[in-house]
Amino acid sequence: MDILDKIVINKRKEVAIRKQLISLQHLEQADLFNRTTSSLKNVLKNSSTGIIAEYKRRSPSKSVINQNAFIQEVALGYENAGVCGMSVLTDGHFFGGSLHDLLMARGTVQMPLLRKEFIIDEYQIIEAKAHGADVILLIAAILTRPEIALFSTLAHELQMEVLLEVHNEEELTHALMPDLDMIGVNNRNLKTFEVSLATSTSLVSKIPNEFVKVSESGLSSESAIQMLRQVGYQGFLMGETFMASEDPGSGAEQFIKNMEQ
* CATH number, domain containing residue 31: 3.20.20.70
Nearest partner of 76 among 245, 214, 252, judged by Cα: 252
The per-residue pLDDT for 2 is 83
* Strands 63-64 vs 135-139: parallel, antiparallel or unpaired: unpaired
Active site residue 54: yes
- Domain count for the chain, please give it: 1
Residue from 54, 56, 52, 85 nearest 236 by CA: 52
Report the pLDDT value the prediction gives residue 62, as an integer from 0 to 100.
Answer: 67
The catalytically annotated residue of 11, 41, 54, 200 is 54
Q: Which of 79, 117, 171, 216 is catalytic?
A: 216
Give the helix/strand (H/E) hosting 254: helix 248-260
Strand partners of residue 86: 53, 113
Annotated catalytic residue 41: no
Give the C-alpha separation, 91 to 116, whole Å.
8
Q: Which residues of the chain have pLDDT under 70?
A: 61-62, 64
pTM of the predicted model, to two decimals? Answer: 0.95
Domain range for residue 157?
A: 3-260
In the set 41, 152, 217, 240, the catalytic residue is: 217
C-alpha 175: how far from its chain's center? Answer: 17
CA distance 39 to 42: 5
Of 11, 41, 56, 213, the active-site residue reads 56
Is 28 one of the catalytic residues? no
Nearest alpha-carbon partner for 117 in 48, 15, 215, 246: 15
Determine which one of 11, 41, 79, 116 is catalytic: 116
Residues 92, 206: Cα–Cα separation, whole Å: 34
For 149, 177, 230, the CA distances from 146, given in Å and listed in that order, are 5, 10, 34
3 state DSSP class of 75: helix
CB 161 within 8 A of CB 152: no
Concerning whether 217 is annotated as a catalytic residue, the answer is: yes
Reply yes or no on whether 122 is catalytic.
no
Query: What pLDDT score was predicted for residue 261?
Result: 73
